[in-house]
Amino acid sequence: MTTRVTHEVEGTRHAGADFAALLRPGDIVILRGDLGAGKTAFTQGVARGLGCTQRVTSPTFTICQVYELPDGAIDALLHIDLYRIGHAAELSDLGVDEAVDRGAVAMVEWGDLAPTGFGEPSWTVTLRGGDDDDREITIEPRDSARLAAAQTWASA
Ligand SMILES: Nc1ncnc2c1ncn2[C@@H]1O[C@H](COP(=O)(O)OP(=O)(O)OP(=O)(O)O)[C@@H](O)[C@H]1O
Ligand SMILES: [Mg+2]
């Protein structure tokens, strides 16, 4: 299993920070989960794990937010929220493909709503919550080559 359970928002950020270590330039991560599941919180943790010092907020209205990263393998962090996206054209206007080709990583909330995909996601992250503060976070890599890393993340 590649699942972790968290009991508060900081735990989800921590899980995201650990997940950041698994990312490679050009990775696209689809985040699945209901409103308030913790997709943005998880992304805040990824940003922290990548060394980003800017404050990460929900891109619901901006659709795509770009965060600079310290010099390293990954060029930038794109935080995308497709909840309000209407047309495939809007998606191509964002320049996501170009940024990912240059070595950015894209975290995509509501990625399964995308009118057209960006290409195959490298990872799918699913957050499930109940009535309380518990969240179950499952990470699924596209290639089996990353499964061992995912299992290490789950057991951390
Ligand atoms: N274990 C937990 N992990 C993450 N968030 C939690 C947890 N427990 C409680 N919360 C609360 O749940 C909310 C998660 O909000 P967040 O914006 O990250 O969700 P989201 O999935 O991005 O929602 P949206 O679809 O609206 O963008 C926050 O208010 C947070 O404080
Ligand atoms: Mg969100």
Domain regions of the chain by residue span: 3-150
Give yes or no for residue 106 having a pLDDT over 90: yes
Give yes or no for residue 130 having a pLDDT over 90: no
Quote the ligand 1 centre to 42 CA distance (angstroms). 8
Q: Which residues make Cβ contacts (< 8 Å) with residue 123, sequence separation at least 6?
A: 22, 27, 28, 29, 30, 139, 140, 141, 142, 146
Query: What is 3-150's CATH number, 3.40.50.970, 3.90.420.10, 3.40.630.30, 3.40.50.300?
Result: 3.40.50.300
Specify the higher pLDDT residue, 119 or 153: 153
Residues within 6 Å of ligand 1 by CB:
6-9, 11-12, 33, 35-41, 58, 109, 133, 135
Per-residue confidence at 137, pLDDT binned at 50, 70, 90? very high
- Whole-prediction pTM: 0.96
Give yes or no for residue 51 having a pLDDT over 70: yes
